[in-house]
A = this chain, B = another copy of it.
Amino acid sequence: MNAHPQAVDPRRYDVVRLVQELTTASLRFTDRAGAVRGLHRSDLNALQALAKARDEGRSGLSAKQLAEALTLSPSATTTLLDRLERAGHVTRGLDADDRRRVTISMTESAGAEARAMFGPLAAAMMEMMSGFDDEEIEVVARFLRAATDIVDQMER
């Protein structure tokens, strides 16, 4: 049921495909940019999670939190942290409150790598957006927020 309540608007369906193309293009870009620096997907995901945590005010994440954010097993997370620590992108600190926990923090070098990877892309996007007026940008932002919400909700 509910298969074809009415004919699908082709323009809107195009947008669905465009979203998919954007995400796969971004995926390819990220993989490539990371590979050049010896970082694979999980490493990038971890750094991004740490960066997000930092931007939201938290000083660092525990290994467990990271494992959950990455949907990674505890043992895999240990290996990943060994890797990132060896590369100098992350430090392991002891949690004062709970001494079972290990607090993970990004180093400055990780931030520099991130900027080197994504800075040019962000700059190009900013320039591209000069072709949109403020009202249009607002529409785009509204769409992106709504689309992200939907994808996130499908996730559970």
Q: Give A residues with C-beta under 8 Å from B.
A: 8-9, 11-16, 18-29, 31-32, 41, 45, 48, 71, 120-122, 124-126, 128-129, 131-132, 134, 136-148, 150-155
For residue A122, which residues in chain B have a CB less than 8 angstroms away from its CB? 13, 16
For residue A134, which residues in chain B have a CB less than 8 angstroms away from its CB? 11
Is A148 a contact of B29 with CB atoms below 8 Å? Answer: no
Is B141 a contact of A139 with CB atoms below 8 Å? Answer: no
- Copies of this chain, how many? 2
Contact with A31, one of B16, B71, B140 (Cβ below 8 angstroms): B71
Is A71 a contact of B155 with CB atoms below 8 Å? Answer: no
22 A-B Cβ contacts within 8 A?
A9-B126, A11-B137, A11-B141, A12-B129, A13-B126, A15-B129, A16-B122, A19-B22, A22-B144, A23-B23, A24-B45, A24-B48, A26-B151, A27-B27, A28-B71, A29-B155, A32-B71, A32-B155, A124-B154, A132-B142, A136-B139, A136-B143
Is B14 a contact of A141 with CB atoms below 8 Å? Answer: yes
